[in-house]
Structure 1
Amino acid sequence: MTLTFEPAPGVMAPTTTGGSFPVRRLFCIGRNYAAHAREMGKDPDREPPFFFTGWAETVVPDGSVIAYPQATADYQHEIELVIAIGKSGRDVSEDEALGLVYGYAIGLDMTRRDLQTVAKDAGRPWDTGKNVEQSKPLGPIQPAAGFDASKGAITLSINGQLKQKGDLADMIWSVPEVVAHISRYYRLEPGDLIYTGTPAGVGPVLMGDVLVGAIDGLGELTVTIGTEAN
């Protein structure tokens, strides 16, 4: 078979063991911290978690310079715990969910907030606000053994100034609950990443800003906001 063009190479995320994790799909949980739900003008009462999907190619590694995207005047940061799936499963129970997890990482879900707001107000999908090139920076993935995803500080600083601060214990939906819920709609496969939501304190970034995200037990993730995308 003759290809009409050369396919793009697959996205590989580094691991703390020195290997590479082939990224397949992204699932992103919305409003999983009560304080963030409130700052977005929503009721944080416990309801079934909702999620949206993203392209693997939005993932970029620690240390990247990411372009400020076009068509927005309000590009915002969201620091998140990321679950890396290592085994296949559909309709798994919460007790079985952690058996699908390969490991965890620090992630950012960068958001064109103005475009997301327009979409929400119109009852339309969030793709233009969320599924944006270079919008999902990801730190090295640490194998699950030895990491407690149920608690631990999660923070985001810009140019040395603390902007977001929370604890994984504040998540409305825990890691097992999130994994089990998504598996009811899709067969989770090795390479899938789940971004689990962000604590309060989201806000805009500017070109030249240096963002440092941290989660206890996972280290730090650093990215710089570059010039506007061409």
Structure 2
Amino acid sequence: MDVRNIYCVGRNYLKHAEELGNKAPESPMLFSKPTHAFAHGAKKTLYFPVDRGAVHYEAELVIRFKSEWYEGASLDELIDGVAVGIDFTLREEQDKLKELRYPWLLSKGFRDSAAVGPFYSFEKGKWEDTSFELLKNGGVKQQGSPKNMIFDLEKLTAFAGKHLGLGQGDLLFTGTPEGVGPAVDGDVFKLTYNGQEAGTFQISMKK
């Protein structure tokens, strides 16, 4: 299935909002990435810019939609896959854009900045018990679960569907827990989904 739109949810875990000095939003905060930011695979090298400041990792659960959203649609009707992904951010560039009150696109939409591991079948009944991790060079840096989201998946889907539209091939990054930090050349990020390996990405930042 081709990727059509990539939507991302900002500040959907309270401790992550706090670690960056932000207040928790009162409604879902959405932004997007262009499709060329998408990097999908079980094992992949990601190539990042070397002259635009720090690149930060943000591990997230990623939802894939199989059909068009409509009012009252169930999650099982709409969603066919879930994966663990990383929303990479040019943090210094983002801070400058926020200070100027400009959109975040330049700090979020660079190539390979939406890294996503293999997709698994989505089952709504098991969603709340899902757990995921990000390991950097073998050490656990992030751990998360939908139980700790500020806005649950039903609310995120309804909000995005109503305001932006959702359809086959759309992806939704559902927010990152605390523990984000910088990536440097040579770093290896391993993702886990319910305790099983769910994608490995190596970083290349060479000129």
**Which TM-score bucket, shorter chain as reference?**
over 0.9
Q: Does 1:38 align with 2:29?
A: no
**Matching residue's letter, 2:40:** P
Name structure 2 gaps, 5 residues minimum.
none
Over the aligned positions, Cα root-mean-square deviation in angstroms equals 1.8
* Aligned position for 1:4: none
Between 166-175 and 216-225, the greater mean CA deviation after superposition: 216-225
Q: Does 1:55 align with 2:34?
A: yes
Question: Shift of residue 147 of structure 1?
Answer: 6.9
Structure label with greater radius of gyration: 1
Determine the C-alpha separation between the residues in 1 that align with 2:50 and 2:184.
Answer: 13
User: For residues 142-181 of structure 1, what are the structure 2 equivalents within 5 Å?
Assistant: 142-145=120-123, 148-181=126-159
* Alignment length (residue pairs): 206
Change (3 A) 1:119 1:75: same
What SS does the corresponding residue of 2:81 show, helix, strand or coil? strand
User: For residues 55-134 of structure 1, what are the structure 2 equivalents within 5 Å?
Assistant: 55-62=34-41, 63-90=43-70, 92-93=71-72, 96-134=74-112
Change (3 A) 1:199 1:98: same
Q: Which digits, 9 at most, give the CA deviation of each residue in 1:134-175, with x for residues without a partner?
A: 111111112214772223322111110111122221011111
Determine the C-alpha separation between the residues in 2 that align with 1:140 and 1:133.
Answer: 19
Q: Does 1:28 align with 2:41?
A: no
* Aligned position for 1:9: none
Change (3 A) 1:147 1:219: farther
* Aligned position for 1:225: 203
Name structure 1 gaps, 5 residues minimum.
1-20
What SS does the corresponding residue of 1:51 show, helix, strand or coil? strand
**Matching residue's letter, 1:130:** K
Percent identity, please. 30
TM-score normalised to the size of structure 2?
Answer: 0.92
What SS does the corresponding residue of 1:65 show, helix, strand or coil? strand
Question: Shift of residue 78 of structure 1?
Answer: 0.5
Contact 2:118–2:198, Cα closer than 8 Å, also in 1: no
